[in-house]
């Protein structure tokens, strides 16, 4: 269960990283953390004994640069992650949407790796995020028994 929570935290962190978009023409590095909650909506035993878990996460994005337009944005994600019988991550995918304080929206795709790290990639956005390109990773920093999570993220972005 701890590993599952750590993976969910990674997912949230990844989503928040995407939220760190700022207007720029060149590729830039971004970093920060996400903090929020996760809820396991359903667990399903698959053929072969692995378990699929459908998880909903709701986080706030906190960027290292408080002037970043995604600082304090919200992000909601829905994922299905697969775990072995002994709770080891096998993989999984999902998607997120984020909304900034001033009402701009973006989407991202996420993928859980077997090492528990989450890769994320921007899938477009609206308005100031319509030309945004970003990708990176999220890892788990803390995963609490009550569903609260905290995770750092890092990556690169550009706004062509």
What φ, ψ does residue 117 adopt, rounded to 5°? -80, 145
Tokens coding 85: 């019988």
Domain extents in the chain: 2-159
Class of domain 2-159: mainly beta
pLDDT at position 41 is: 97
What are the pLDDT digits (tens) for 76-99? 999 999 999 999 999 999 999 999
What are the pLDDT digits (tens) for 25-75? 578 888 999 999 999 999 999 999 999 999 999 999 998 988 877 789 999
pTM exceeds 0.85: no
How many Cβ atoms from other residues are within 10 Å of residue 128's Cβ?
Answer: 17
3-class SS of residue 3:
helix
Q: Which residues pair with 121 in a beta bridge?
A: 109, 135
């Amino acid at each position: 269960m701890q590993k599952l929570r750590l993976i969910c935290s990674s997912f949230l962190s990844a989503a928040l990283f995407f939220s760190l978009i700022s207007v720029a023409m060149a590729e830039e590095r971004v970093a920060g953390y996400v903090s929020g909650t996760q809820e396991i909506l359903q667990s399903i035993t698959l053929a072969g004994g692995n378990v699929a878990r459908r998880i909903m996460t709701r986080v706030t994005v906190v960027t290292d640069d408080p002037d970043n337009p995604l600082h304090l944005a919200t992000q909601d994600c829905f994922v299905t992650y697969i775990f072995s019988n002994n709770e080891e991550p096998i993989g999984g995918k999902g998607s997120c949407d984020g909304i900034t304080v001033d009402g701009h929206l973006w989407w991202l795709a996420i993928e859980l790796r077997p090492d528990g790290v989450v890769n994320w990639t921007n899938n477009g956005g609206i308005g100031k995020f319509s030309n945004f390109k970003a990708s990176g990773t999220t890892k788990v920093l803390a995963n609490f028994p009550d569903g609260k999570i905290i995770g750092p993220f890092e990556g690169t972005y550009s706004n062509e």
